[in-house]
Amino acid sequence: MRAPAGERFGAGAGVVGLVGRDLNTPVFVDLAEGLQHAIGDARRVLLASWHGDRLGEVLESFWSLPAEGVVVLGDVDRPDDVSRFARRGLPVVVVGDGVEVPNVARVILDPDMVARLPIDRLARSGRRRIGMIAPSHGSPGHSAGERDFLAAVDDAGLKGAIVRAQATVDGGGSALRGLIEGFPGMDGVVAHNDLMAVGAVREAADLGIRVPDQVAVISAEDMGHSGLVTPALTSVRPDNERLVEAVTSALGRLRDAPGLIPEIGVVPVELVVRQSA
């Protein structure tokens, strides 16, 4: 039987930071509540957001408290912002893409499930030409998410194409236009996150394309924005209980063994079926 998360993290009082780009998403709210419950009433979870390149400033504020550890929810575009503080002794857990340096733990959503659940859904509904709307950061063709998408498409006997754009509503709209122009006959889309999926659905409406009748759209990251468009987005959502467990366990290991490079925690996901696919 597994020990409760609070026991694994150890006894005592203190502060744990939780940092995200958007504090209002269901994943962030659920993680904050679960983390507070897991570490016990003696500690407090302090919430903060970062925008652009200001993650380093936010981590500096937690360093000065001092915090027992910080959880960063979201992909890290500037790895040095994390590694600098980890080298100084601040335990950091990144939920998303991060860095492989001592004192930093990574927790990721099961990449195989994130890629295959949407493709399986689209294949079962008769879709055959699937486009991926991917974020523009990184090197084209080298993203693990892109490779997993192409592998899932190939295994399902489908055709796939990738367009990269800013991870925003406008980026999703422009990417959909790129797929329509460069990938004729496309009948399904997997977007990197809700914002890009919302942009794709809105652009489809502007172009007179019916969703999901002509093009089905799935978000690979449920950010709680499914209701911003009609039809509501079908999306991939993490198992929150397992996410809290993985994050808390990682914090406990870093606290107990400073300098450790923990194994990556992998959290299962589910596909929440709504109207867009």
Q: Kindly state the average pLDDT of the residues 146-160.
A: 95
Q: Is residue 245 part of a domain?
A: yes
Q: For residue 19, what pLDDT band results from cuts at 50, 70 and 90?
A: very high
**97 in the same domain as 20:** yes
**119 in the same domain as 50:** no
What domain range is 145 assigned to?
111-237
Measured distance CA(251)–CA(268) in Å, rounded: 19
pLDDT given at position 13: 59
Handedness of CA 194, 198, 200, 201 (dihedral sign): positive
**145 in the same domain as 65:** no
The one-letter amino acid at 120: D
- Say if residues 247 and 95 touch (Cβ distance below 8 Å): yes
pLDDT given at position 172: 97
Q: Is residue 275 part of a domain?
A: no
Do the strands 234-238 and 269-272 form a parallel or antiparallel pair, or are they unpaired?
A: antiparallel
Looking at residue 208, what DSSP letter applies? T
**225 in the same domain as 141:** yes
Number of domains, the chain: 2
Picking from 70, 77, 73, the residue whose alpha carbon sits closest to that of residue 24 is 73
**115 in the same domain as 90:** no
**CATH code, domain with 259:** 3.40.50.2300
**100 in the same domain as 217:** no
Measured distance CA(267)–CA(269) in Å, rounded: 7
What percentage of the chain has pLDDT greater than the value 70?
A: 93
pLDDT given at position 111: 92
**116 in the same domain as 233:** yes
Q: For residue 260, what pLDDT band results from cuts at 50, 70 and 90?
A: confident
Q: Which helix (H) or strand (E) holds 48?
A: strand 43-49
**64 in the same domain as 158:** no
Which stretches does DSSP call E strand in 153-233?
159-165, 188-191, 216-219
pLDDT given at position 2: 38
pLDDT given at position 222: 85
How far apart, in Å, do the first and last CA atoms of the chain sit?
Answer: 39
Q: Which helix (H) or strand (E) holds 45?
A: strand 43-49
Please state the pTM of the whole predicted model.
Answer: 0.83
C-alpha distances in angstroms, 5 versus 34, 36, 246? Answer: 10, 11, 9
- Say if residues 82 and 104 touch (Cβ distance below 8 Å): yes
- Say if residues 90 and 70 touch (Cβ distance below 8 Å): yes
**88 in the same domain as 41:** yes
